Structure 1
Amino acid sequence: MKTISKISIEHQTPGQFEDTRFEKIHNIVFSNSEEGSICVAQEIANLIRSKQAENKVCILGLATGSSPIKVYEELVRMHKEEGLSFSNVITFNLDEYYPMDKNSVHSYYYFMHQHLFNHVDIDPANINIPCGTVSAEDLHQYCIDYDLKIKEIGGLDFQLLGIGRTGHIGFNEPGSHYNSGTRSITLDHLTRADAAPSFLGINNVPKKAITMGIGTVKKAKRIILLAWGHNKASVVKETIEGEITSEVPATYLQDHPNTTFILNDEAAQDLTRLNTPWLVGPCIWDEELTSKAIVWLCQLTKKSILKLTDKDYNNNGMSSLLAQEGSAYDINIKMFNKLQHTITGWPGGKPNADDSSRPERANPVKKRVIIFSPHPDDDVISMGGTFDRLVSQGHEVHVAYQTSGNIAVSNSEALKFAEVIKDVNSTNLNIDALINKIISKKEDVEDEIEVRKLKGYIRKRESFAATRFIGVPDKNVHFLNLPFYETGTVKKKPLSKIDIDIVSKLIAEVKPHQIYAAGDLADPHGTHKVCLDAIFAALKELKHHDYMKDCWVWLYRGAWHEWDIHQIDMAVPMSPDQVLKKRKAIFYHQSQKDGVMFQGNDTREFWVRAEERNNETAIKYNNLGLADYEALEAFKRYHY
């Protein structure tokens, strides 16, 4: 995938970097969100400085949410280290929940001061954020006045946007008019579901908001929209390539003369030029693109690999691949064998077997294995069948739970356990005080340390129950409790050297031949990514050691989505009995079984998601002409 990095994004024109035959909005793709955010911050800084040189004010429209956080961090850094002044800056925020007290940790007033305003020299009088406590009687006029104030000072010089999965910009939900102004709006259920983790449940998310309108946003002289991650890929494609429609309000930006979308690889992955580039123009047919294209062709034609013909390739933009490889027969055989060789019932390697066409090495016969699990149930949810295979086939399996998972335990579940303790505990622990803390806790206040400990103990003991069921000795179960997680809220601390050292210490002690880690970055509250970053940082520190030369790293995905077929390097089949055993292991995590707090937009329980995902992978393999399994768990090898 072609990416653009370390460039100025100012004054670029559509089509300057990529073929945009399918695209109606200029966009630039970065390999990661950090690079993109830094470039956006640089453009904002340049605008501020140019206005200062002209002795003019700089009018910025600002967004909230996770997407712009790194932009604000970089602006703060430039203020502190490079002398960037905000003395001439006037800001208008896009939106605010309604009703919402500005002092609430959920308010966008709180967010903006936490991430930007408290750290720069902006005049507080120049900060404009919709007020979430204005009375219902005054709300209509308040919104009119908000728009008038923007107009009276000359309009927005720059508007920063994110995009919701409904296609909303600001809180302009589907159905918003292209000429709408600032107003109150009812939030879409999907928008509220996406916000639910930070509110500890969808029932706590306000149903209404105040938002700048589409018409207000489109009057900005320059617009940049940020989109990061797999979850945004579908709506990004629809916005950039689809028709203008009120059902996807972001498509209105197609009519704006100076808009750029800043994307990372994951958010851009569905764009035609990146997802199916053979439909756009000439391709360099490397192994990965070839595999992706053949799987796509099978799904399009509803044929298995070995049934594809020259005509199928020629009629669907893949004639250059056919010319390169010689014939459909040759391509098909090569692809069939590649996928066939990913399937193994021996995830730790098959002893005394030719391993030249197997995903794992035969030797050493008995391997030391670490399964890293971000939360105390990701191991069994994501790779419970493989976990069971590794143990039953005699490998020394260690499980490392990277976080306590305590915030995912509901208050009602904690209360139940506290009351059980009260019934059976004869120690001096003040259980009544603990129960009172749970009962009296407000939803937007973080748990006190005693409550967090109780919730952590709940998940710890559930984990032991599951690992004992699979057959792992207690001494091989490690609870790392990485400090970045222990905030008591959804918002976590940044990854630190302490976190990395904890992971490194375990790897150095075990000296594993295999590491399994969660590569699922669609996790709705970001813990998986931080946990993976900790492992990657530890591997970087340790890779010069001799024992690391024998260590292979396999990435699994969790309850949110699966690897695409062309990405899979190892697929471990499960029989119906093994699927049932995996389900039972998941059930030991009882606090997460019913009414889980971080459900995402999928209402299925985690065990159902896992089973259906594994079954779907098996069906996809079978549809490609491979063996018919009950279920498959998929892994991608990471080369460090």
Structure 2
Amino acid sequence: MIKESINFKEAGKFEETRFEKIHNVIFDSSQEASVLVAQEIANIIQRKEELNEPCVLGLATGSSPIKVYEELVRLHTEEGLSFANVVTFNLDEYYPMDKNNIQSYWYFMHQHLFDHVDILPQNVNIPDGNVNIEELQQYCIDYEMKIKAYGGLDFQLLGIGRTGHIGFNEPGSHVNSGTRSITLDHLTRQDAASSFLGIDNVPRKAITMGIGTVKNAKRIVLLGWGISKAEIIKDTIEGEISSRVPATYLQQHNNTTFVLDTEASSELTRVKTPWLVKSVIWTEELKLKAVAWLSELTKKPFLKLTDKDYNDNGMSSLLTEEGTAYDLNIKMFNKMQQTITGWPGGKPNADDTYRPERATPEKKRIIIFSPHPDDDVISMGGTFDRLVEQGHDVHIAYQTSGNIAVSNEEALKFAEISRALNKNSSESENIINFLKNKKANDIDSLEVRKLKGVIRRSESVAATRYLDVPDSNVNFLDLPFYETGTVKKNNLGEADIQIMCDIIERIKPHQIYAAGDLADPHGTHKVCLDSLFEALKRLKHKSFMDDCWVWLYRGAWHEWESYQIEMAVPMSPDQVLKKRHAIFYHQSQKDGVMFQGDDSREFWVRVEDRNRLTAEKYHALGLADYSAIEAFKRYFF
């Protein structure tokens, strides 16, 4: 049954503060939030149907609205929601772009929504990426006039780019701008690079509705998911209106709601430093967060913070509760000190009362889950090495083949080597012919995907051998959701979860390490983490799971904040070099890796910098000075 009304203030976490200039609601998950947004759209469609009027929707593309569209399709197929009275106008399209190109927004919208509901084809309006350049200006004017002819947009769905763009209104866009062609910002093209298999393939221009067009909508909902959007969300909601951040123009719209998940909201003042906004209940976690924040703000180590520092920075209530800065500082210092361990698997014959891990059993069975075939050494190579050196039974589980990340050039090189070694190999010849004639939209053949997967496997085994892991302990799960041959993956399925359950049941681990980094540019980490969480949920009643602890590491894009870290594993300079060499075995991911994100440094460089920075943060808090630290947070299931 479609809900009659949606109250976002009741459904999510909402508090109006003096810092915020746009109404926003925070949800624990994007799934829950997307369902509510879809229900609001459904309500508008039904109200307009009752009035015998068209419902005019402005629609967005990208990863943010996919779950909204999935729910709208479900409402249509299971609850009878009709789109017969709906007229849609999409925000934008790349230019030039053929509508049948799998990267086109025409293709995206039909794949995710239009092909699955009863909307009339003539009511679907998406900017045409094939318009002749001579006709483009008039085409944009006509698109704008058609929206106005329908009386404007009843509802506009938005995402937000890291430049602050809505639609493709990049920095510099005018508040009254209409539909037009625009040159894409370099950061926008970087963010799209993974979908296009490299930034060189991303168009430089687009057609977009203007800021003025969007602002004329009667209702606007902007979706913000993930840690990578946190900074721009804060700038948009709390910053001054500026063309440098076009989304800030939405502060001038009186019926806009930003719908956020916890990661996207993490930089908002009321989330990051709630004691500056209201009276708070000082939990132990919040105390550590506040003191670490104050230490960073004042550039003082924990033990040098004074009563005045606390009082001057809105934390007098914490002192009232704790007594003195002296007592509080020692307490928080000890808490951070106790996260540091050179024994990630637990120290044998030691008092483990204040250690991150248990002393027993002395030799643990351990699974390191790696979403791609190199995340293990990139993200926790030093800890990996330490666990093996200390005699634990370490098993590696590569969750996906990683074949999509192998370039065609790299695959061609190996195919030609194979042909030279096997003169009569028709398979090698087929691969070479396919790669030499492959066009932009072609999906890799099964033979090519197999070869690319073998390349990643061989590199992984070389790295694990270097770290003295027996080949029998290296597992390639090849989760089916990944094996599409394209950047777009399938949803997590029963087969994926069963594979995860099977390996956990077989090994019966005392420790599980998994990637808790959800900021990878193409979403594989999140699906892999979801597969683990679902497997844990199904297996938690098993007796062996009572002795299983789960530790989450972060990938190449973000690190845990210092107050979030529950186990910090220092690395010596020699271990840093050993980790680097382990990463080097993944040769196909060096020198122009396909999924670089917005950081042009190679993975080994960025992760060394990240590990060094974590060590420097610990030292700045007044703790020991290490060369590098890998960080982990425990997950309770």
One of 76, 82, 86 as aligned partner of 2:79: 82
Shift of 1:573: 0.4
The answer to whether the aligner puts 1:490 opposite 2:487 as a matched pair is yes
Could you say which residue in structure 2 is the equivalent of 1:360?
Answer: 357
1:526-560 deviation per Cα after TM superposition (whole angstroms, max 9, x unaligned) = 00011111111111111111111001000000101
What is residue 235 of structure 1 aligned with on the other side? 232
Contact 1:7 1:39 survives alignment (8 Å) = no
Equivalent residue for 2:112, pick from 93, 110, 115: 115
- Helix, strand or coil at the partner of 2:57: strand
Check the 8 A contact 1:199/1:444 in 2, yes or no. Answer: no
Q: 1:12 to 1:571 in 2, by over 3 A?
A: closer
Match of 1:324 in 2: 321
Distance 2:272 2:42 in 1: 34
TM normalised by structure 2 equals 0.98
SS of alignment partner, residue 268 of structure 1: coil
Partner of 1:578: 575
Distance in structure 2 (CA, Å) of the matches to 1:286 and 1:39: 31
Contact 2:58 2:89 in 1 (8 A): yes
Aligned to 2:525: 528
Does 2:509 correspond to 1:512? yes
DSSP-derived class of the 2:478 partner = coil
Residues 147 and 153 of structure 2 are in contact (CA less than 8 Å); yes or no, is this contact kept in structure 1? Answer: yes
Match of 1:304 among 278, 301, 305: 301
Identity over aligned residues, as a percent?
73
Give how far 1:153 is off. 1.5
Find the aligned partners of 2:211 and 2:384 in 1 and give their Cα distance: 50
- Measured on the aligned residues, the alpha-carbon RMSD in Å equals 1.3
How far has the Cα of 1:66 moved from its partner?
0.5
The 1-side partners of 2:202 and 2:362 are apart by 53
1:446 positional shift: 1.3
In the alignment, is residue 423 of structure 1 matched against residue 396 of structure 2? Answer: no
Contact persistence 2:368–2:513 (CA under 8 A): yes
Aligned position for 1:68: 65
Q: 1:429 to 1:365 in 2, by over 3 A?
A: farther
Moved more, 430-439 or 252-261: 430-439
Decide which of 18, 36, 40 is 1:39's aligned counterpart.
36
Q: CA deviation at 1:20?
A: 2.0
The alignment of Structure 1 onto Structure 2 pairs a total of residues equal to 634
Shift of 1:422: 1.2
Which of 393, 396, 403 matches 1:396? 393
SS at the partner of 1:199?
coil
Question: Could you tell me how far apart the structure 1 residues matched to 2:428 and 2:585 are?
Answer: 25
Change (3 A) 1:16 1:387: closer
In 2, the alpha carbon distance for the partners of 1:428 and 1:314 equals 76
Match of 2:477 in 1: 480
1:365-401: CA deviations, max 9, x gaps? 0000000000000000000000000000000000000
Q: How far has the Cα of 1:155 moved from its partner? A: 0.9
**Equivalence map 1:426-575=2 (5 Å):** 428-575=425-572
Q: Secondary structure at the match of 1:535?
A: helix
Q: Which residue of 1 aligns with 2:627?
A: 630
Q: Pick from 577, 581, 593: which aligns with 1:596?
A: 593
TM-score by length of 1: 0.98
Q: Is this contact kept in 2: 1:19–1:273, CA < 8 A?
A: no
Tell me whether 1:266 sits opposite 2:269 in the alignment.
no
> For the residues of structure 1 that align with 2:427 and 2:170, how far apart are their CA atoms?
49
C-alpha deviation, 1:430, in angstroms: 2.9
Pairwise CA distance, 1:9: 4.3
C-alpha displacement of 1:432: 1.5
Residues 12 and 58 (structure 1 numbering): CA distance in 2 closer, same or farther, change over 3 Å? Answer: farther
TM-superposed CA distance for 1:439, in Å, is: 1.2
**Residue 429 of structure 1, CA deviation:** 4.3
Which stretch shows the higher mean deviation, 420-429 or 202-211?
Answer: 420-429
How far, CA to CA, are the matches of 1:570 and 1:436 in structure 2?
50
Deviation at 1:7, TM superposition (A): 11
Report the Cα offset of residue 8 of structure 1: 5.5
Query: How far apart in 1 are the matches of 2:442 and 2:232?
Result: 33
Give the whole-Å Cα distance in 2 for the aligned partners of 1:212 and 1:304: 50
Take 2:442 and 2:136, find their aligned partners in 1: how far apart are those partners?
Answer: 28
Partner of 1:3: none
Q: Within the alignment, does 1:182 sit opposite 2:179 as a pair?
A: yes
3-state DSSP of counterpart to 2:89: strand
Deviation at 1:589, TM superposition (A): 0.3
5 Å-filtered alignment, 1:29-178, equals: 29-178=26-175
8 A contact 2:515–2:552 mirrored in 1: yes
Query: Residue 403 of structure 2 aligns with which residue?
Result: 406
Instruction: Kindly indicate whether the alpha-carbon contact (under 8 Å) linking 2:377 and 2:579 is maintained by their aligned counterparts in 1.
Output: yes
For the residue of structure 1 that corresponds to 2:568, the secondary structure is: strand
| Cα displacement (A) at 1:278 | 1.0
Question: What is aligned with 1:616?
Answer: 613
State the distance in 1 between where 2:347 and 2:584 align: 30
Task: Quote how far apart the aligned CAs of 1:441 are.
Answer: 1.1
Tell me the alpha carbon deviations over residues 286-319 of structure 1, each in whole angstroms, 9 at most, x when there is no partner: 1111111111100110000000011110110000
Q: Distance in 1 between matches of 2:580 and 2:425?
A: 38
Is the contact between residue 172 and residue 214 of structure 1 (CA under 8 Å) also seen in structure 2?
yes
Separation in 2, partners of 1:622, 1:231: 26
Corresponding residue SS for 1:512: coil
Q: Cα gap change, 1:293/1:328 in structure 2, threshold over 3 Å: closer, same or farther?
A: same
Residues 13, 27 of structure 2: 8 Å contact kept: no
Q: Is the 8 A contact 2:571 2:626 kept in 1?
A: yes
Query: Of 206, 211, 224, which residue of structure 2 is paired with 1:209?
Result: 206
CA drift at 1:230: 0.3
Query: Could you tell me how far apart the structure 1 residues matched to 2:448 and 2:361 are?
Result: 45
> Alignment partner of 1:322: what SS?
helix
How many Å apart are 1:12 and its aligned residue?
A: 6.2
Cα distance in structure 1, aligned partners of 2:256 and 2:49: 23
Match of 1:382 among 379, 384, 387: 379
- What amino acid is aligned across from residue 141 of structure 2 in structure 1? I
Give the deviation of 1:10 after TM superposition. Answer: 5.0
Rounded to whole Å, the distance in 2 between the matches of 1:294 and 1:19 is 25
CA contact (8 A) 2:16 2:23 kept: no
Compared with structure 1, are the counterparts of its residues 275 and 123 closer, same or farther at alpha carbon in structure 2 (3 Å cutoff)?
same
The 1:8/1:607 distance shift into structure 2, 3 A limit, reads farther
State the match for 1:220 in structure 2: 217
Once residues 25 and 36 of structure 1 are traced to their aligned partners in structure 2, the CA distance between those partners, rounded to angstroms, is: 17
Equivalent-residue separation in structure 2 for 1:317 and 1:76 (angstroms): 48
- Alignment partners' CA distance in 2, 1:271 and 1:385: 34
Counterpart AA for 2:336: L
User: Could you say what secondary structure the match of 1:55 adopts?
Assistant: coil
Name the structure 1 match of 2:368. 371
Distance in structure 2 (CA, Å) of the matches to 1:17 and 1:614: 35
Q: Please tell me the residue identity of whatever aligns with 1:593.
A: K
Unaligned runs of 5+ in 1: 1-5
SS, match of residue 498 in structure 2: helix
